[in-house]
Amino acid sequence: MYKERIRLPRLLDKVVSADTAAGLIRDGMTVGMSGFTRAGDCKEVPFALARRAASEPLRITLMTGASLGNDIDKVLAQADVIARRLPFQSDETLRRKINAGEVMFIDQHLSETVEQLRSGQIAPVDVAVVEAVAITEQGGIVPSTSVGNSASFAMLARKVIVEINLNMPLGLEGFHDIYFPVQRPYRQPIPLISAEQRIGLPYIPIDPEKIAAIVITGKDDSPSSALPPDEGTRQIAGHLSEFLGREVRAGRLSPSLQPLQAGIGTISNAVLHGLIDSPFHDLKMYSEVLQDSTIELLDSGRLTFASASSVTLSRPVYQHFLANLERYRSRLVLRPQEISNHPEILRRLGLITINTALECDIYGNVNSTHVGGTHMMNGIGGSGDFARNAHLSVFVTKSVAKGGDISSIVPMVSHVDHTEHDVDVIVTEHGLADLRGLAPRERARQVIDNCADPAYRDVLNNYFRRASRLGGQTPHLLEEALSWHVRYRDQRTMRESVPHEAMAA
């Protein structure tokens, strides 16, 4: 069965067991693996590495596109195979090791990793391991449900291991558009001017001599972990949809809006889902990951085209998508993450970007990554690429977490991923803060009044009032600025049990 998928006959000899292929990876190496938001990860070699690590020292630097599925990061972390990890992850076990300082995690803008690799600024990839649906007659690699950094890993690595996944339909061939920017200083403009345009090849064009091993697999991607919409996410979607409607009526947006980007996760997915019943039409997406909502928007006819670097779906939508590929062929393209997230393209297209905040402060700075300012959740991912270059940068969050013990609106964020310059709109279930053209003191009024949970508004107002007396562009009481986080750390609630005045040390 796999022979029709390896169309360059001399490569048939390269088919080996996962253990044999994994033998190419030695202690201390840098390995670039496919996989982006749980899609298109290689599903055999990582487990062979974990098995081998039981009997010999094996510690590697692991680079990927973004997060992996199939518990790969978990298994590799448990087996102590990962010494360094970049540029993103979302696994609980690995996260624990990162926060314990046992794994060095380099959290990067997703557009930047291969730029640094290409210029030799980070250690070169020794071996690339890439999931594919097929190898072409010329030895080109046809990726599966994600591109991520696979194309650059395969181009830059000395050796390439291909995992042919028989569970991925051959119909995926043709969905990819592989383009590499030329080396600096000879780089030309990237010719992409709209979400639906193709500028590259439908496969990764490498010298077939570099393909050192081929492993056959038949495992599925892990399903998306996004939760279904709930009352809160529906309210967030409603506020945003209403706001966009006002922008259309004011002549600042057309009814087709601007190309949409939405970060991975429950809230973004729910917000996009909410557009199914909106008055907007002929929408396009230019995003890094497509979730269930994208497929639903395509099916509804509301969305005409979607560009991304991966497709991460719940089990039923995944089955539906793979069984109906012909329906999506002309309306969906998968690109390298360097292109899906490239500042040049993003600034040119002018996206409406929707990303999730862990917490926002009253001036509109956003923390997307570090719980309590210290503990890594997943990583910044592509949110910086998108928010900085957006036409309209939206951040969404529920106003509270942990049953109200955490306020997502705080006096000062404990870690900054996105500065106020890159945040145009904040939305919670309570309302929307339109921060465009406002100075920080004006932003504070919008954020507190429109977005904070009513239970925290008085305390925020009190903080802002007392801080303003000390003056400044962004008034703060430095002794108190992070006290909400300290209180949560020590008392498991940000709620005050003493009057505010007593806090002002």
Q: Say which amino acid occupies 148.
A: G
User: Which listed residue (208, 223, 372, 404) binds a second copy by CB under 8 A?
Assistant: 372
Burial class (CB in 10 A: 0-12, 13-18, 19+), 252: exposed
Looking at the Cβ atoms of 144 and 383, the one nearer to a second copy is 383
x-or-dash string of contact with a second copy, 407-426, rule CB under 8 A: -----x-xxxx-x-x--x--
Cβ of 387: how many Cβ atoms within 10 Å? Answer: 28
Is residue 155 within 8 A of residue 206, CB to CB? The reply is yes
CA distance 341 to 96: 28
Residue 102 falls in the annotated catalytic set: no
Is residue 163 within 8 A of residue 42, CB to CB? The reply is yes
Q: Return the residues of window 175-204 that contact a second copy according to CB under 8 A.
A: 181, 184-185, 187-191, 193-194
DSSP 143: E
Interface with a second copy, residue 100, by CB under 8 A: yes
CA distance 42 to 430: 42
Report, in Å, the least distance between residue 15 CB and a second copy.
35
Residue 382 annotated as binding site: yes
Report, in Å, the least distance between residue 21 CB and a second copy.
27
CA distance 9 to 7: 6
Catalytic residue among 44, 112, 173, 288: 288
- Size (the chain), residues: 505
Report, in Å, the least distance between residue 363 CB and a second copy.
10
Residue 43 annotated as binding site: no
Q: Which stretch binds a second copy (CB under 8 A): 64-72, 237-245, 309-317, 389-397?
A: 389-397
Q: Two tokens at 312?
A: 């991460």
User: Which listed residue (154, 178, 476, 494) binds a second copy by CB under 8 A?
Assistant: 476
Q: Which stretch binds a second copy (CB under 8 A): 7-15, 45-53, 102-110, 302-310?
A: 102-110
CA-nearest of 504, 500, 502, 494 to 410 is 494
User: Which listed residue (375, 402, 465, 492) binds a second copy by CB under 8 A?
Assistant: 375
Interface with a second copy, residue 104, by CB under 8 A: yes
Q: Two tokens at 496?
A: 């005050």
Residue 402 annotated as binding site: yes
User: Which listed residue (437, 454, 498, 502) binds a second copy by CB under 8 A?
Assistant: 437
Interface with a second copy, residue 468, by CB under 8 A: yes
Is residue 149 within 8 A of residue 122, CB to CB? The reply is no
Is residue 493 within 8 A of residue 405, CB to CB? The reply is yes
CA-nearest of 22, 14, 31 to 214 is 14
Report, in Å, the least distance between residue 151 CB and a second copy.
18
Helix or strand (DSSP H, E) at 61: strand 60-63
Looking at the Cβ atoms of 320 and 445, the one nearer to a second copy is 445
Report, in Å, the least distance between residue 315 CB and a second copy.
32
x-or-dash string of contact with a second copy, 345-364, rule CB under 8 A: --xxxx--------------
Would you list which residues are annotated within the binding site for CoA? 378, 382, 402
Catalytic residues: 288
